[in-house]
Chains A and B, each alone.
Chain A
Amino acid sequence: SYVLTQPPSVSVAPGETARITCEGNNIGSKSVHWYQQKPAQAPVMVIYYDSDRPSGIPERFSGSNSGNTATLTISRVEAGDEADYYCQVWDSGSDHQMFGGGTKLTVL
């Protein structure tokens, strides 16, 4: 089955830029979606179709996808951005939704 690989953790100082990667074989040919999950809360979609932002999500959140890597970029990071982030794709080969293992973003 299709495997998505994320770094377990990313740390960044407030005001800096965080980049969270999601690696998969030729992931650039798939649509990638990203979710934010804060402790004891349900996930919230922050990016869909690689780079689209749902209403209510700050412009600081952006996404890109090319080759074997999709990236979620959070500009001007705030303390409130501290959370786990997951990438997700549909694997048409297996007809399965796939999630990455998740990345814990720590704001120093």
Chain B
Amino acid sequence: EVQLLESGGGLVQRGGSLRLSCAASGFIFSSYAMTWVRQAPGKGLEWVSVISGSGGTTYYAESVKGRFTISRDNSKNTLYLQVNSLRAEDTAVYYCAKAGSSGVANFLDYWGQGTLVTVSS
């Protein structure tokens, strides 16, 4: 059974940093791209970033480029998102999601339950 468990969210001041983690199990982690998607309170889904199965390819939404860094440790079956220079508009539930293959241009067939990041001013 595929499981994705996010952690690392919390309350942080504007300008602060957090590292979000997503522990994966139930599949060969290195064989699949992974994505972060966020959802602000009462809003729709917003894609944040994607990383290929090998970790060699990454892409970011314009709204987070230069502030967020996606990475993965295939030996630990864990996905990360380092979020820096946080702004009020970064307040959201952050979901990690598994892609359908190792490539980044893919559907998202499994999602975690999300971790809430709240940025206070």
Contact = CB atoms under 8 A, between A and B. Distances in A.
Contacts, number: 56
Chain A CB within 10 Å, residue with most, of B50, B95, B106, B114:
B106
A88 B50 CA distance: 14
A45 B47 contact: no
B27 to A, nearest CB: 14
A28 B112 CA distance: 30
Interface string A85-105: 010101010011111111000
B107 A43 contact: no
B47 A99 contact: yes
Contacts of B62: 1
A87 B107 CA distance: 10
Chain B CB within 10 Å, residue with most, of A42, A54, A92:
A42
B109 A54 contact: yes
B109 A97 contact: no
Interface in B50-97: 50, 59, 61-62, 95, 97
Interface residues of A, number: 25
A25 B112 CA distance: 31
Given A97-B47, A99-B44, A45 B105 contact: no
Contacts of B104: 90, 95
Interface of B: 35, 37, 44-47, 50, 59, 61-62, 95, 97, 100, 104-109, 111-114
18 contacts: A33-B107, A37-B45, A42-B95, A42-B111, A43-B97, A45-B108, A45-B109, A48-B107, A49-B107, A54-B109, A86-B45, A92-B105, A97-B47, A97-B50, A99-B45, A99-B47, A101-B44, A102-B44
